[in-house]
């Protein structure tokens, strides 16, 4: 499966909204409007550098009703594979990028009786668009936004103004932590919870919700895992008869793509299952970083998700 048709965009504005977060406005080079989308969607931004192509997902933050341009925000990651550094250091007003059409893996449930939104840090981005959808929906909701400190609270003023009582801020610096037991233990039936933020926060929300009796169908999460970095390793693609070398800050999927082999993909974040790949031979161990394979499938050593997973091995042969 080839990469999806992309849209050529130009960066028309860049704003440093917090010390670590930059906000980008992307307008269509061909003129007209951007494609309509649903709150919670993300786009893949294709960043071409001299020696590497990055394909990173970023949530669309702009109001879904405003299609003159898309807006995304990017947090500079300390341990980066280069994508966020590229956006922060090499992209400015006038830069041209390619983006894929929006994909939504984090949609609002249309028949929910109430929505509880929980954001950690840069995780606020998908909610910015969803809040616009919620304004029109006439359903109760709450926005809980946890950040390190006030200066890291991107878009706080805008949120306070537009959400009023429906927004609650929590600052780590003031030791304000979200009490998940209280929050999730007190909601009426039919409430859905949505969480986007660091892995630990997501695990705590899911764990607490389940412990409080929530059904999985009412728990939604989106995680911005850039594929984890790790040691370099080699793999052999059995059908293509190609040997590939995966660099420390390159995902297995990216390395396969760089070798000219197309693997089906969608989310590039280990959740959708599209890049599901069979392992033909393995001497060593697979490092599973995905949220798609079952525990049994992971233990079997027969499958892996190259978009986020890696290996520590003497020999790895994939059915590609």
Partner 1 sequence: MNAVFKPDESFRDDFKYGNSPHAIRRFPFPFAEDEYMYAVNIEPHLPGPKGSVTEFAIDVDEHYVAECRERAIVLAAEPLRFQALPHMMSAQWDCLELIMESLARDYPEYFTLAKQGTRWNWTNRPLGIQQAFLFGDPATLPQPPLEYITRQAQGDWLVMDQREGDLWVEAGMVTTQADWSLDFDIGMTFKEWHGPVPLAHELGVFERALRYLLNLRLNEPVRRLNWTMTIHPRLDTSPENYPKWGPDRAGVTLQNAGDDAYLRVELQGLWRLPRSNGIVFSVRCYLISMRELVTIPKWAARMHRVLKSLHPALADYKGVSRYRATVAEWLAPYDNGAPTGPGTWPD
Q: Which residues bind partner 1 (CB under 8 A)?
A: 4-5, 35-38, 40-41, 64, 101-104, 107, 109-111, 217, 266, 272-274
Residue (202 or 237) nearer to partner 1, CB: 202
Q: Take residue 103 and report the two structure tokens written for it.
A: 């994909």
For the CB of residue 263, give the shortest distance to partner 1 in the complex, in Å: 15
Residue (103 or 143) nearer to partner 1, CB: 103
Number of CB atoms found within 10 A of residue 270's CB: 23
For the CB of residue 174, give the shortest distance to partner 1 in the complex, in Å: 37
HEC assignment per residue over 110-143: CCCCEEEEEEEHHHHHHHHHHHHHHHHHCCCEEE
Nearest CA to 51 among 242, 240, 250? 250
Q: Take residue 280 and report the two structure tokens written for it.
A: 């033909």
For the CB of residue 51, give the shortest distance to partner 1 in the complex, in Å: 29
Residue (74 or 271) nearer to partner 1, CB: 271
For the CB of residue 218, give the shortest distance to partner 1 in the complex, in Å: 8
Residue (145 or 265) nearer to partner 1, CB: 265
The dihedrals phi and psi of 241, each to the nearest 5 degrees, come to: 55, 50
For the CB of residue 302, give the shortest distance to partner 1 in the complex, in Å: 19
Distance CA 261, CA 253 (A): 9
Please tell me what DSSP assigns to residue 302.
S
Residue (63 or 198) nearer to partner 1, CB: 63
Coil vs helix vs strand at 273: coil
């Amino acid at each position: 499966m080839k990469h999806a048709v992309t849209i050529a965009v130009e960066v028309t504005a860049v704003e440093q909204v917090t010390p670590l977060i930059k906000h980008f406005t992307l307008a269509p080079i061909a003129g007209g409007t951007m494609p309509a989308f649903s709150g919670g969607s993300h786009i893949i931004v294709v960043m071409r550098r001299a020696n590497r192509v990055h394909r990173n997902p970023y949530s669309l933050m702009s109001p879904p009703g405003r299609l003159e341009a898309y807006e995304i925000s990017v947090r500079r990651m300390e341990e980066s594979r280069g994508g966020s550094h590229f956006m922060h250091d090499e992209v400015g007003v006038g830069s041209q990028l390619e983006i894929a059409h929006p994909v939504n893996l984090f949609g609002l449930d249309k028949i929910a009786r109430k929505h509880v939104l929980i954001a950690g840090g840069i995780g606020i981005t998908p909610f910015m668009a969803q809040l616009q959808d919620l304004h029109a929906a006439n359903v109760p909701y709450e926005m809980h936004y946890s950040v390190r400190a006030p200066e890291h609270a991107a878009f706080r003023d805008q949120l306070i103004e537009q959400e009023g009582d429906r927004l609650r801020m929590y600052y780590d610096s003031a030791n304000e932590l979200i009490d998940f037991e209280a929050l999730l233990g007190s909601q009426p039936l039919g409430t859905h919870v949505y969480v986007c933020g660091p892995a630990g926060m997501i695990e705590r929300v899911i764990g607490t919700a389940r412990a409080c009796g929530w059904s999985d169908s009412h728990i939604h999460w989106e995680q911005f895992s850039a594929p984890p970095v790790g040691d370099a390793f080699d793999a052999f693609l059995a059908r293509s008869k190609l040997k590939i070398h995966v660099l420390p800050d390159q995902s297995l999927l990216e390395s396969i793509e760089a070798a000219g082999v197309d693997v089906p993909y969608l989310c590039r974040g280990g959740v959708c299952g599209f890049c599901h790949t069979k392992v033909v031979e393995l001497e060593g161990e697979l490092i599973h970083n995905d949220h798609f394979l079952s525990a049994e499938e992971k233990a079997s050593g027969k499958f892996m998700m190259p978009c986020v997973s890696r290996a520590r091995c003497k020999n790895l042969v994939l059915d590609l």
